[in-house]
Structure 1
Amino acid sequence: MKKQITSILFSLLVSTSALAQQHSEQNHDKYVWPKDELVKKKLANWQDIKFGLLMHWGTYSEWGVVESWSLCPEDEGWCERRGPYAANWFEYKKAYENLQTTFNPTKFNPERWANAAKGAGMKYVVFTTKHHDGFCMFDTKLTDYKITDKKTPFSSNPRSNVTKEILGAFRQQGFMVGTYFSKPDWHTEDYWWTYFPPKDRNVSYDPKKYPDHWKKFSDFTYNQIEELMTGYGNVDILWLDGGWVRPASTIDSTVSWQRTIPYSQDINMARIAGMARQHQPGLLVVDRTVSGEFENYVTPEQSIPDHYMPIPWESCITMGDSWSYIPKENFKPARKLVQTLVDIVAKNGNLLLNIAPGPDGEWHEEAYQRLQEIGKWITVNGESIYGTKPLAPYRQGQWAFTSNNKAVYASYLPSESEQQLPASISLPALTVAPNAKVTVLGASQALKLTKTKDGFSVVVPEKVRQQLAGQPVWVFKIG
């Protein structure tokens, strides 16, 4: 993940460069539907639950900097180094990796996270077991660059294997659980080989020229993923990041960052997925941005497709500005977050909302407040979200449409200035039964639905308008 840049100018540049990537992720023709019946069943279940939690957490939270990317020697805004070591990359990397010796999140309490997420209506979790920097938030046997190593103060804590603790706490609350895992590893000698210092995010040597090094790296990756698939209970999702680690045949030259991949970086995903599913039958594998049989759903980042997509997909979006912890975060209003969820679900997607724990092992209190506010809306309106399918015209103006076997849900997304439903409101044309009952979720009073030339009109009584004032989205139930 990359840190979202707050500069207006840079945001414009990022938005422009992201258009090609978003176009690629909206290319339905490249999606390969799974054939494994257990995978298909789990994918259908995942599509029904709609709303998940992503957490980026590692030693980088101590400095309050972007996750991993300040190690990357690229001239990009999210890779900018700051602080006393910034002038010398080698000194900076040494200091960054030395954060392992001070990382001590003594307020770590995954049960509080799981309870808050459940209260907000989230139903699955994806946790960063290892980001690009290579620091492992699980008890791997393959490196000492990990939270459970004796050099790390938190290793003496009985809950030091935080991945195990987090997955267990969320599983206890009925969540589907997923492991984020970075395919590139900027710590291991077999990816950024010190004989050839890195020039960018990619492997620092040609894997074809040095096949022994690449085999060691591929085996290391395979073995670490096998650890996660065998020592952490039932796992539902293997969420792989670092899409530049891919075979040359899958590089999409229309996407700017893929054009800069200098080498084929094939880690044999068929071997990895086969092993993972042997241990975890039905596992969803998400090899992000690498279209094909190992990308069971696509993952537009910090963006929402502008139209309905008939394939499984998930927007991963930050609750604040950053993927990783920063001391003063700018959290999106709950109103915006609820409208984002409604928009995504009407287009056939899921929302994976990121919250970043800090160096002490806690979230910002404001994140808990946002989840509580979302939960208040979900408690009343969740039936329009879970287990629904998008309904044409999907999104039209301020309307979003979903349905299930019992009802049609027409969700009205108010503008910033709208605090009450209009006294009379026009609905687009929908196919509804002649005797259909209409209500607004949260109010029991039946409303009058009148056919018009362009659709329907609904009169909303003043009592209902006042009762439901200030909602982020109003949902009309027709059925």
Structure 2
Amino acid sequence: MRKLCLLLSSALLLMGSARAQHQIPPYIPPTDKAVQANLEQWSDWKFGMLIHWGAYSQWGIVESWSICPEDEGWTQRQPYGIPYYDYVKKYEELGKTFNPTKFDPSKWAKAAKDAGMKYVVFTTKHHDGFCMFDTKQTDYKVSNPNYAFGKDARSNIAKEVFEAFRKEGLHAGAYFSKPDWHSQDYWWSYFPPKDRHVNYDVSKYPDRWKAFRQYTYNQIEELMTGYGKLDILWLDGGWVRPRKQDKKAAADITAAETGEKVIKQDEDIDMDGIAAMARTHQPGLIVVDREVHGPNENYRTPEQQIPDKPLDYPWETCMTMANSWSYVPNDHYKSVNVLIHNLVDIVAKGGNYLLNVGPGPDGQLHDEAYTTMTAIGAWMHINGDAIYATKSVAPYKDGKVCFTRKRDGSVYAIYLLDKDEQVPATIAFKGLTPAKGAKLEMLGAKDKLSWKATGGGTTITIPATLQKKGFQHAVAIRISAVAS
């Protein structure tokens, strides 16, 4: 028995050591007061639109990943079995034929505004390196005059998008991929690419890596100087990061965070310098160096998931409205009920919701994207006060009730309705009690609601008139004050 206890104790110590090695580093808050202020404002917006769009939409395939030689579910080439280099050649030709003649970002912006969205993040360049803005660093861009859309007055697509959304009063953010699989200074054609990483020895060819760093710097500076007011620089491709080369062991934190089996190269692009440069042009810019935990990750971005509990740092769930990030014909869209419940759940836990749509090759969104945003907007027009400019408040969620708190101390109890469910005669929850004399009312109605304390909880009575009013998705009850 003693020997067994010793073995168990040793196992627990090893498990604790492994957890410590895999532990996510602490969030480092920005020290720039302008960034702090903008981050606080961003946390009030709550709901935004992410747009993945590129030449790949012509094939209705996953964005960029099909040219990555990794054998993952999302990197499969179509048709299956086509030789890699033949496929890449055809893929890179897509830029020449990309011709979104029905591109009208004002329609997207109006739909986003009507849905209650407050900001947009647009893909200026994804991992494949095809630029959706008029960069001077490469001809591999939608505005290339030799390409199908290049002579169109709207060919500087990113600029058109940012201007359209700002015109509707929304804030603008630029998605930018740090890796660039088209660049000869990232995937050098002298060597075959093996995976998503740089494909040559950075220490052996330092001048080539230096050129890539400068290329990245120059492109981001173009975005910071020629595209109006930008609030967010949203950087993807977290594997492009500094790495300590003296620790070539799988237990190293850089390997653990990225799921790598071995330590990769030091892919340092000088994010400190890029962020400093960007803020000379865009003071107070929020920089999101995704998954690279440190001073340049001003907020964190759980992808396609909602945390189980509130997080103690700024965060934003990025999630698809349909199944795919990019345009796929006949894609399946999440129901409005699911999307609104996601929004409420995220906001109750202190986060923002960045909801993605993928325009098609002609520049149009799926009709279902518009009808979905219209339905979300109808709910937000009534219940937006329970969402915007709120903070999390314990117990955050109890059963089907989520809670949000306003700066004036009032609290919203948001009851999540199942599909086709009528508002119940009573709504009960634990962990939060209205203050004596508090006024309770449901958004979208003028009736004063009665309540009583019951067994450590609260029960609110809903009048029959409100039960039959046809509320959908969720109802928000404002509690003017809660007991301390």
TM-score by length of 1: 0.92
Gaps of 5+ in 2: 1-18, 245-251
Q: Distance in 2 between matches of 1:238 and 1:151?
A: 29
Task: Read off the aligned partner of 2:67 and give its amino acid letter.
Answer: L
Contact kept? 2:175, 2:234, Cα under 8 Å: yes
Contact kept? 1:100, 1:151, Cα under 8 Å: no
**Aligned residue in 1 for 2:75:** 79
Task: Read off the aligned partner of 1:394 and give its amino acid letter.
Answer: Y
Shift of 1:270: 0.7
Q: Distance in 1 between matches of 2:257 and 2:441?
A: 46
Shift of 1:439: 1.5
Contact kept? 1:442, 1:468, Cα under 8 Å: no
Task: Specify whether residues 166 and 48 from structure 1 end up closer, same or farther in structure 2 by C-alpha distance, changes over 3 A only.
Answer: same
Q: Which residue of the other structure, out of 441, 464, 468, is the alignment partner of 2:466?
A: 464
- Residue 89 of structure 2 corresponds to residue 91 of structure 1: no
Q: Distance in 1 between matches of 2:257 and 2:282?
A: 33
Task: Specify whether residues 119 and 349 from structure 1 end up closer, same or farther in structure 2 by C-alpha distance, changes over 3 A only.
Answer: same
Contact kept? 1:244, 1:258, Cα under 8 Å: no
Contact kept? 2:433, 2:457, Cα under 8 Å: no
Shift of 1:415: 3.3
Superposed CA deviations along residues 355-402 of structure 1, whole A, max 9, x for unmatched, are: 000000010011000000000000000000001111111122211111
Q: Secondary structure at the match of 1:345?
A: helix
Task: Specify whether residues 199 and 40 from structure 1 end up closer, same or farther in structure 2 by C-alpha distance, changes over 3 A only.
Answer: same
The aligned runs of 1:213-228 (5 Å cut-off) are: 213-228=208-223
**Aligned residue in 2 for 1:408:** 411
**Aligned residue in 1 for 2:274:** 272
Q: Which residue of the other structure, out of 154, 160, 182, is the alignment partner of 2:177?
A: 182
Task: Specify whether residues 423 and 46 from structure 1 end up closer, same or farther in structure 2 by C-alpha distance, changes over 3 A only.
Answer: same
Q: Distance in 2 between matches of 1:60 and 1:424?
A: 51
Task: Read off the aligned partner of 2:122 and give its amino acid letter.
Answer: F
Q: What's the Cα RMSD here?
A: 1.7
Task: Specify whether residues 256 and 33 from structure 1 end up closer, same or farther in structure 2 by C-alpha distance, changes over 3 A only.
Answer: closer
Task: Read off the aligned partner of 1:56 and give its amino acid letter.
Answer: H
- Residue 477 of structure 2 corresponds to residue 476 of structure 1: yes
Task: Specify whether residues 446 and 468 from structure 1 end up closer, same or farther in structure 2 by C-alpha distance, changes over 3 A only.
Answer: farther
**Aligned residue in 1 for 2:337:** 335
Q: Secondary structure at the match of 2:256?
A: coil
Moved segments of 4+, more than 2 Å: 26-29, 249-261
Gaps of 5+ in 1: 1-22
Q: Distance in 2 between matches of 1:127 and 1:468?
A: 36
Shift of 1:101: 1.4
Task: Read off the aligned partner of 2:111 and give its amino acid letter.
Answer: A
- Residue 122 of structure 2 corresponds to residue 127 of structure 1: yes
TM-score by length of 2: 0.91
Shift of 1:136: 0.2
**Aligned residue in 1 for 2:15:** none
Q: Which residue of the other structure, out of 35, 38, 60, is the alignment partner of 1:42?
A: 38
Superposed CA deviations along residues 324-381 of structure 1, whole A, max 9, x for unmatched, are: 0001110001111011000000011000000000000010011000000000000000
* Greater Cα radius of gyration, structure 1 or 2: 2
Q: Distance in 2 between matches of 1:253 and 1:206?
A: 18
Equivalenced residues, count: 453
Shift of 1:260: 4.8
Q: Secondary structure at the match of 2:160?
A: helix
The aligned runs of 1:229-308 (5 Å cut-off) are: 229-249=224-244, 251-255=253-257, 257-260=259-262, 262-308=264-310
Shift of 1:197: 0.7
Contact kept? 1:341, 1:351, Cα under 8 Å: yes
**Aligned residue in 2 for 1:420:** 422
Q: Secondary structure at the match of 2:396?
A: strand
Q: Distance in 1 between matches of 2:24 and 2:253?
A: 17
Contact kept? 1:320, 1:330, Cα under 8 Å: yes
Shift of 1:443: 1.4
